[in-house]
Amino acid sequence: MSRRNPTDRSRRERTKLGRTDSRRHHRSMLLQHLFGAGPASRADLARSSGLTRVTVSDLVAELIEDGLVAELGAPAQTRVGKPPTLVGLVADAKHVVAIDLSVDDRVVGAVLNLTGEVICRESRDRSGKRGEEAVALVQEVAAGLIERSERPLLGIGVATPGVVSSDGVVIDAPNLGWAEVPLAERLQHDLGHPVYVANDANTAVVGEYTFGGGDEDGVLLIRLSTGVGAGLILAGTVVHGRGAAGEIGHVQVQADGETCGCGRQGCLETFLAVPRLRRRLADEAPEAVLGDAGQRLGAALAPVVATLNLGELVLSGPLDLVEPLVLSAADTVRERVMPVSAEQFVVRASKLGDDGVLVGATGLVLAGELGVS
Ligand SMILES: [Zn+2]
């Protein structure tokens, strides 16, 4: 947007806004360093950020005043002279409320600290509640957790199945009966804290990247829950496509397969959705069921792995299902791609286990409020 005759006032405001933005950005750079690399001296921070020592000291003072950072004393080994004082992130400076709606017919929530550690939990039966009733239940669980948190709240992160816009509108979540629900805006209005809403697989991949040591060059996470979704991070950024990136669950992998919830036959989801796997495991041998499911997954993902030259594929979901799937999916991908694509390509279960989505929802809030990822 350009204006031909900007008044002095608007010019002043823009300059001021520019300064606030860069200050916020510089704060984020320092927090990012302390978050990713651990405690550091002010001189370390100046070196890593490229900011002047004066600016760093000034920003650190502000972060200490906010309680996000604290002085930790001097490191043990130092040369001659006054040893530098280290500063570090205060894990319990603020808390985050995280809600996971991807667990079948439950609303699972927790209070977590800034390092993704769970402080307390809450889990409620959804009892088939949909639409407005489901929104009210989410709000109730979040309000209860806010009450239980003993620290200032940084914000609320919600992970839901379905397609979610970047500003937290749930465009379509059939299991919850939501279509075009402005969930972030509504919860923020009613609960009085910043709210971030994202798709569950995208949330899980944020968790893996922020807290689970995810590969910097590219992580594809496949989330097995009521359905099957994918979250993709490339060059440090979640890929949204035109809004529905990661919707791999309804790719057909067998033309005459079982009928899927979407009405078509043989979608990937008919082989890998948790309720379907559990049903098959009730009357078939586990090796056969999980071996077959892993092969289907590997076959569907091999073209993606080769095209993007991905470093890492992470499977997230119930560990008793995910661990055996890792092996057969990895073998199938490797059989189907060139050695150059398979080299150093890793398939693993999420390190965050069942809490992956809750931890990821914390990551959404950290990224949005502090610029840390
Ligand atoms: Zn389908």
Task: State the distance from the centre of ligand 1 to the C-alpha of 301, rounded, in angstroms.
Answer: 16
**Residue span of the structural domain in which 101 resides:** 95-204+357-370
Give the model's pLDDT for residue 18: 67
Q: Does 111 lie in the same domain as 20?
A: no
Give the model's pLDDT for residue 78: 57
pLDDT greater than 80 at residue 19: no
Give the residue-averaged pLDDT of 176-203.
96
Task: State the distance from the centre of ligand 1 to the C-alpha of 179, rounded, in angstroms.
Answer: 18
Q: Does 346 lie in the same domain as 220?
A: yes
Task: State the distance from the centre of ligand 1 to the C-alpha of 227, rounded, in angstroms.
Answer: 9
In a domain, residue 104? The reply is yes
The radius of gyration of the chain's CA atoms, rounded to the nearest angstrom, is 23
Q: Where does a domain end: 49, 67, 89?
A: 89
Give the model's pLDDT for residue 242: 80
Q: Does 346 lie in the same domain as 225?
A: yes
Give the model's pLDDT for residue 237: 86
Task: State the distance from the centre of ligand 1 to the C-alpha of 248, rounded, in angstroms.
Answer: 9
**Least confidently predicted of 5-19, 79-93, 145-159:** 5-19
**What's the rounded Cα separation, in Å, for the pair 51 and 191?**
37
pLDDT greater than 60 at residue 9: no
Q: Does 104 lie in the same domain as 83?
A: no
In a domain, residue 2? The reply is no
Give the model's pLDDT for residue 16: 52
pLDDT in tens, 349-362: 998 877 899 999 99
**DSSP line for 9-77:** HHHHHHHHHHHHHHHHHHHHHHHHHHHHH--EEHHHHHHHH---HHHHHHHHHHHHHHTSEEEEE--S-
Q: Does 264 lie in the same domain as 150?
A: no
In a domain, residue 220? The reply is yes
Q: Does 311 lie in the same domain as 280?
A: yes
Give the residue-averaged pLDDT of 37-46.
93
In a domain, residue 145? The reply is yes
In a domain, residue 236? The reply is yes
And the tokens for 2?
């350009």
pLDDT in tens, 303-335: 999 999 998 999 998 889 999 999 999 999 999
In a domain, residue 1? The reply is no
Q: What percent of the chain clears pLDDT 90, i.e. is strictly above it?
A: 71
Number of domain units in the chain: 3
Q: Does 343 lie in the same domain as 221?
A: yes
Confidence of residue 79 (pLDDT cuts 50, 70, 90): low
In a domain, residue 78? The reply is yes
Q: How big is the chain, counted in residues?
A: 373
Task: State the distance from the centre of ligand 1 to the C-alpha of 298, rounded, in angstroms.
Answer: 18
We report the CATH number of the domain holding residue 65 as: 1.10.10.10
Give the neighbor-by-neighbor strand order of the sheet with 69-73.
40-41, 86-89, 69-73
pLDDT in tens, 133-153: 999 999 999 999 999 999 999
Task: State the distance from the centre of ligand 1 to the C-alpha of 188, rounded, in angstroms.
Answer: 33
Task: State the distance from the centre of ligand 1 to the C-alpha of 244, rounded, in angstroms.
Answer: 15
Q: Where does a domain end: 89, 123, 145?
A: 89
Q: Where does a domain end: 64, 89, 114?
A: 89
Q: Does 122 lie in the same domain as 60?
A: no
Write down the mean pLDDT value for the chain: 89
In a domain, residue 8? The reply is no
User: Are 345 and 312 within 8 A, CB to CB?
Assistant: yes
Q: Does 109 lie in the same domain as 194?
A: yes
pLDDT in tens, 219-228: 999 999 888 9
Task: State the distance from the centre of ligand 1 to the C-alpha of 373, rounded, in angstroms.
Answer: 33
Task: State the distance from the centre of ligand 1 to the C-alpha of 164, rounded, in angstroms.
Answer: 18
Q: From residue 297, how far is each of 142, 188, 256, 302 by CA, in Å?
A: 35, 38, 17, 9
We report the CATH number of the domain holding residue 140 as: 3.30.420.40
How far is Cα of residue 131 from the mean position of the Cα atoms in its chain? 24
Give the model's pLDDT for residue 241: 83
Q: Does 315 lie in the same domain as 265?
A: yes
Q: Does 17 lie in the same domain as 100?
A: no
**What's the rounded Cα separation, in Å, for the pair 306 and 165?**
28
Task: State the distance from the centre of ligand 1 to the C-alpha of 342, rounded, in angstroms.
Answer: 29
Task: State the distance from the centre of ligand 1 to the C-alpha of 308, rounded, in angstroms.
Answer: 24
Give the neighbor-by-neighbor strand order of the sheet with 163-164.
163-164, 170-173, 178-181
Q: Does 343 lie in the same domain as 304?
A: yes
Whole-model pTM: value is 0.85
